[in-house]
Amino acid sequence: MSSAEQPRDLAPGTQQLHGGETADLEVRPVRAPIHLSAAYTFESLPQAREVFAQRQPGFKYSRTGSPTVELLERRLAELEGGTGAIATASGQAAITLTLLALAGRSGQSPDGEPHPEVPAGHVVASQRIYGGTADLLNDSLAEAGITVTWVDPHQPDQWRRAATPRTRAFLVEAIGNPHADLPDIPALAEAAQEAGAALVVDSTLASPYLVRAGDLGADVVVHSLTKYLTGNGTTLGGIVVTTGRFQPSADPRRWPQLTQPRTRFGGRSLVEQSGEDGALRQLIRTQLLNDLGPAMSPLNAQRALEGIETLDIRMQRHCHVAEVIAARLAADERVGSVRHPSLPDSPDRQIAERDFPRGAGSVLSFELKGEVDAVERFFGALQLFALAVNLGDGRSMATHPAWTTHCRLSPEMMQAGGITLQTVRLALGREDPEDLWADLDRALSAAHG
Ligand SMILES: *Cc1c(COP(=O)(O)O)cnc(C)c1O
C-alpha cells in the first residue's frame, strides 16, 4: 500500500490553519454573515485566468470586492435607484476615484492610455462645499493635473460659463456643507449635458431617504457612509453609485478611457467589456480601486448595512430636531442669519418643497452676533453638543468651519463660501430638541454675558 492512499495526519502547524474545515456544515443565518477573507479560492487555474482577464465574474481578492461589501453596494444602488455601486474606504476615496475616472489624464488622451504629456481634465465645482473636497481639488487632484473652477451652486449660468473643452465633471452637494444650500439639480444636469460633462452629486448630507439625485439628473451619486447612512459615528466608508444616465458612447472621443481599446483590458474597450453603463464602474473598480487601494473592509460594510436598516426613521428624527432648532435660532436676537431650507425666508425654500419633500437634513449654520471672543465663549459653554467635526451621528455636534473643516481655504474661497469667524455649524443629532435648545440657550447667553 502506498503512503499516498493513506489519509495522513497533519502536523500541528498545518492543523492550526486547516483543522476542522468542512464544506458541508449546514448553516442558514438570518443575517448575511461577514465574509472576512482577504482572498477567494478558484476552482481551477483556467477559472482564475478567466476571472483575472475579466471574462468571468468572481471574487479574487477583497481589495476589489467581497460578498459583504457587494451586498452593501447592491443595497445602496437599489436605495438610490441606481444601476450599480462601488464601496470605498471613506467618502473622500469615493470622490477621489470618481474624479480620477472622469477627469484624469487618460480621459484626455486620444486612446485612453496614460500619456504623461497630455494634460488632465477640468472640474467645475460648487464653492459651498465640504472643506475636505475643496482641499482634494485645490491640492491633491491639482497635483495630478486636474484643474478646478469654483462657482456658485445657485447660478447654473456660472457653471455653463466655467466649462471648457477639457471639462469632464460638474461636482455639487445635494445639501451643501456647511450652509445646507440646495442647488437646482435638474438645472445643473442640463448645464452639465450642454458642456458634455458628467454631473456628480455628493448626497452625503441628504442620504437616499431625502433625495435620489439620479432621479433629478445626476450621472453619479457619491456618499460618505460615515455620516447618516451608518448613522452612529463609528465607521468610515464611502460609495459611488452610477445612475444609468451616463452614456460614454454618445460622444466617444470625449471619453477615450471608456470607449477606446486599452492594453490593460485585453485590447478591448471598457464599454465593449462591461457595457455603456458598467464601463465607468469597471474603470473605478478594476483600475483605480485596485491600483490605489482605498478598499472598504467587510467589517465596516457590515456596520454600514446595520445602520442603513434604520435610515428612514433616523432621518425623520434628524429633520424634525433640525427644524425645531432652526426655528428657535431664527427667532433669537442673539443670533444673526440662520441658514436652513426649512425656514420660511430661506432662498432655497422652493427647491426644498419641490425636491426634498421629506425634509432638508439636519445640518444648519448661523452667524453668531459679536466678536470672536463671544464665539469662543459660546463653544466653551456647550455641554450636550460635542465640539467635533462629524455629522450624521445620533449625538449633536457643533463646529467652527473657519478654524476646522474649512481652515485650509484661501480667504477668497472662504468669502465666496460664506464662511466667517462668526459662522457656527450645527449637525443636529437625535436627542430631545428641548434639551438641545437648553444647551444652545445657555451657550448663547454665555457668548453675550
Ligand atoms: C464627511 C464628508 C465627506 C468625506 O467623507 P469621509 O467619509 O469623511 O471621507 C465628503 N463629503 C461630505 C459632504 C462630507 O460631509
Any idea which of 17-21, 161-165, 180-184, 215-219 has the lowest mean pLDDT? 17-21
Query: If you search the block for the grid coordinates 477621489, which residue do you land on?
Result: 96
User: Ligand 1 centroid to 204 CA: how many Å?
Assistant: 7
pLDDT computed for residue 63 by the predictor: 97
Q: Which of 204, 230, 240 to mutate to test the pocket of ligand 1 (most atoms within 8 A of CB)?
A: 204
User: Ligand 1 centroid to 393 CA: how many Å?
Assistant: 13
Whether pLDDT at 397 is above 60: yes
Q: In order of start, what are the domains of the chain with their CATH numbers?
A: 12-305 (3.40.640.10), 312-447 (3.90.1150.10)
Q: Which of 177, 225, 230 to mutate to test the pocket of ligand 1 (most atoms within 8 A of CB)?
A: 177
DSSP for residue 285: I
Any idea which of 45-49, 246-250, 402-406 has the lowest mean pLDDT? 402-406
Percent of the chain with pLDDT over 70: 99
Rounded Cα gap, residues 82 and 64, in angstroms: 20
Helix, strand, coil share (%) of the chain residues, nearest 5: 45, 15, 45
Atom of ligand 1 nearest to the CA of 93: 9
Residues forming a β-bridge with 125: 150, 171
Whether pLDDT at 232 is above 80: yes
Whether pLDDT at 154 is above 90: yes
Burial class (CB in 10 A: 0-12, 13-18, 19+), 443: buried
What is the DSSP annotation of 263-287?
GGGTTB-HHHHHHHHHHHHHIIIII
What value does the mean pLDDT take over residues 183-210? 98
C-alpha cell belonging to residue 378? 459660546
List pLDDT tens digits, range 245-274: 999 999 999 999 999 999 999 999 999 999
What sign for the dihedral angle of Cα 404, 407, 411, 417? negative
Nearest alpha carbon to residue 368 among 414, 399, 413, 341: 399
Cβ atoms within 10 Å, residue 312: 14
Please check whether residue 133 is in contact with residue 223, taking contact to mean a CB–CB distance below 8 angstroms. Answer: no
List pLDDT tens digits, range 266-291: 999 999 999 999 999 999 999 999 99
Rounded Cα gap, residues 221 and 241, in angstroms: 5
C-alpha cell belonging to residue 369? 452676533
Atom of ligand 1 nearest to the CA of 205: 13
Whether pLDDT at 28 is above 50: yes
> From atom 6 of ligand 1, which residue's Cα is the shortest distance away?
91
What value does the mean pLDDT take over residues 136-161? 97
pLDDT computed for residue 1 by the predictor: 44
What value does the mean pLDDT take over residues 308-323? 97
Atom of ligand 1 nearest to the CA of 236: 7
The pTM score is: 0.95
List pLDDT tens digits, range 89-132: 999 999 999 999 999 999 999 999 888 899 999 999 999 999 99
pLDDT computed for residue 5 by the predictor: 66
What value does the mean pLDDT take over residues 67-81? 96
Q: How high does pLDDT run on average in the chain?
A: 95
What value does the mean pLDDT take over residues 343-350? 96
Any idea which of 333-337, 408-412, 432-436, 442-446 has the lowest mean pLDDT? 408-412
Extended strands (E) in 203-315: 220-224, 238-242
pLDDT computed for residue 4 by the predictor: 53
Query: What single-letter amino acid sits at 171?
Result: L
Ligand 1 binding residues, C-beta < 6 A: 90-92, 130, 132-133, 173, 177, 202, 204-205, 224, 226-227, 236, 238
Residues forming a β-bridge with 39: 61
